[in-house]
Amino acid sequence: MKTEVKTLDFNTDWEYSPALESTDHIHIQEPTDLFISGEFIPGVRGKYFETINPANEEKIANVAEAEKADVDLAVKAARKAYDNVWSKMKPTERGKYIFRIARLIQERAREFAVIESLDGGKPIRESRDVDVPLSAAHFFYYAGWADKLEYAFPGRDAHPVGVAGQIIPWNFPLLMAAWKIAPALATGNTIVLKPAETTPLTAMKLAEIIQECDLPPGVVNIINGGGNTGQALVEHADVDKIAFTGSTEVGKFIMKTVVGTGKKYTLELGGKAANILFDDAPVDQAVEGIVNGIFFNQGHVCCAGSRLFVQENIAENVISKLKERMETLIVGDPLDKNTDIGAINSKIQLDKIKMYVDIGQKEGGSIFQSPCSLPKMGYWHAPTLFTDVSQSHRIVQEEIFGPVLAIQTFRTVDEVIMKANNTPYGLSGGVWTDKGSKIFSLSKKIRAGVIWANTFNKFDPSAPFGGYKESGLGREGGVEGLMPYVNLV
């Protein structure tokens, strides 16, 4: 059936006026110091780096950079708190502290959301509706486990591991801090956490809350810095466990570093998820799922559905619907409540995305970008998709970590399973079909830690999350998320 193209005009006379979230109520410490032993202190050598707003490249605050000596101070504080207080505390009491943190996040949700969007560039509707509520939910969930570990591990004694060194990425700064801190505290460990260099502010706001909660000094320490700070933490002899979320490259380095040291470790790394759309799927809703799968958080999501597989007989329709849907995405000021796609987190990341888009075109892919106008200042990238690509294209193989979707078609179930698994990664996947049997069959055969059926990018504290193959090892969330933080005897 070939008919002339009927287009819809989304460039309407009626436009939405700016609806900016107010920033009057937020308070950011200037300078933002290290949080060690319950106090905010400058680094030993007094060095600071700037954190900027990626939407306009303006400086937000000076942040203290932790050197090796500061890392040592933080680990010592954590060790002292572990030995003297936290490991000895009654589990019910530990639970109370964690509940208190959860409640304070809820109370100050708006402030957290605004700072998250300022510092990281994600749209306020996501930080408000996803990041912050999920962070509170994680603390609530693990607070509940604190005094019930005997039910999590029946017949065994769960002992804390000791001092946990935790390194988190810039894509979900507060949420990743919650994923790391909550289970570690619940199981009786103490913590040195290092947020990402480009997004330190919500973690430091969390430090303020932890101080307000009267958590015993040294139980949670938060230090900032780049790769060197992280390396010092990973290499520190008195750290018992490393939890890392970030790139596969750094993950491999960490694995090499800690091997033979007796340190426990969990790694949550990259992904290149297959999102699979069958011809019996509810198409309009599936298109929403594709959009949510790849454009959520500007595509800065390790489990993003960056490889779309559409069954051949519906591909033309789906792609045309998808392009039209992309036209209605609002790209712009992260603090505008109507923004769907915010700023790219950093210059480095923007350059990387542009490089891949360039490669995609050079390798012969057909590109489509939503016709949005991008702001002059700041780091921006239009939602992008590629067709006419295959498993041998680099943009299909490598993690781009941006709003770039690669679309392939398939004919049979076996073919799509083979292609879905044809990747070094294995973090997540999605299946869209009206048939329950197909969902169950596929989810067993795709080698990935999370498979979403008729939805994508949904998270819950009770659901374990983690990868196969080069997407990492260990699980976070759920009962399984307690495992990395206990020694069972």
Partner 1 sequence: MQSGTPTYTRNIDQVNAQERVTKLFSRSIKKESKIVALNTVLSMIDLTTLEGKDSQGKVKQLCYKAAHLHDQFSNLPNVAAICVYPPMVPVAKKALNGTGINVASVATAFPSGMTSLDTKLEEVKTVVAAGADEVDMVISRGKFLQGEYDWVSDEIAKVKEACGEAHLKVILESGELVTLDNVRLASDLAMAAGADFIKTSTGKVSPAATPSVVLIMLEAIRDFYKQTGKKIGMKPAGGVSKAKLAVQYLVMVRETLGQDWLSPDLFRFGASSLANDVIMQIVKQSTGVYQSTNYFSID
Q: Is 440 in the site for partner 1 (CB under 8 A)?
A: no
Contact pick of 120, 270, 289, 430 for partner 1 (by CB under 8 A): 289
User: Who's near 316: CB < 8 A, 6+ residues apart?
Assistant: none
| DSSP track, 153-216 | STTS-EEE-SEEEEE--SSSHHHHHHHHHHHHHHTT-EEEEE--TT--HHHHHHHHHHHHTTPP
302 is catalytic: yes
Residue 13 sits in the site that holds partner 1 (CB under 8 A): yes
Q: Is residue 106 a contact point for partner 1 (CB under 8 A)? A: no
Nearer to partner 1, 129 or 214 (CB): 129
Give phi and psi for 163, each to the nearest 5. Answer: -95, 125
Among 290, 318, 400, 448, contact with partner 1 (rule: CB under 8 A): 318
Contacting residue, 14, 88, 155, 437, with partner 1 by CB under 8 A = 14
Q: Give the number of residues in contact with partner 1, rule: CB under 8 A.
A: 39
Q: Report, in Å, the least distance between residue 123 CB and partner 1.
A: 11
Helix axes 173-186, 132-145, angle to 10 degrees: 10
Is 113 near partner 1 (CB under 8 A)?
A: no
Residue with Cβ nearer partner 1 (25 or 435): 435
User: Which one of the spans 1-9, 111-119, 252-260, 378-386 is the region binding partner 1 (CB under 8 A)?
Assistant: 1-9
Cα separation, 397 vs 231, in Å, equals 28
Please report, as residue ranges, which positions from 444 to 483 form the binding site for partner 1 (by CB under 8 A): 454-455
Q: Least distance from C-beta 177 to partner 1, angstroms? A: 26
In the list 101, 191, 281, 303, the residue contacting partner 1 (rule: CB under 8 A) is 281
Which among 10-18, 103-111, 165-173, 477-485 is the span making contact with partner 1, rule CB under 8 A? 10-18
C-alpha to C-alpha distance for 343 and 157, rounded to whole angstroms: 47
Q: Is residue 406 within the footprint of partner 1 (CB under 8 A)?
A: no
Which of these is catalytic: 116, 126, 197, 268?
268
Residue with smaller CB distance to partner 1, 9 or 24: 9
Query: For the packed helices 248-258 and 227-235, what is the interaxial angle rounded to 10 degrees?
Result: 30
| SS (HEC) of 219-287 | CEEECCCCHHHHHHHHHCCCCCEEEEECCHHHHHHHHHHHCCCCCEEEEECCCCCEEEECCCCCHHHHH
Tokens standing for residue 20: 């900016």
SS3 373: coil
Among 30, 50, 93, 280, binds partner 1 (CB under 8 A): 280
Q: Is 12 exposed, middle or buried (0-12, 13-18, 19+ CB in 10 A)?
A: exposed
Determine if 23 is a binding residue for partner 1 (CB under 8 A). no
Asked about 268 being catalytic, the answer comes back as yes
d(CA 193, CA 221): 6
Determine if 373 is a binding residue for partner 1 (CB under 8 A). no
CB of 4 to partner 1, least distance (A): 7
Nearest-approach distance from CB 460 to partner 1, in angstroms: 15
Contact of 107 with 208, CB cutoff 8 Å: no
Applying CB under 8 A, the residues found at the interface with partner 1 are 1, 3-4, 6, 8-17, 19, 125, 129, 279-286, 288-289, 313-314, 316-318, 320, 328, 337-338, 434, 454-455
Query: Which residues does the annotation mark as catalytic?
Result: 268, 302
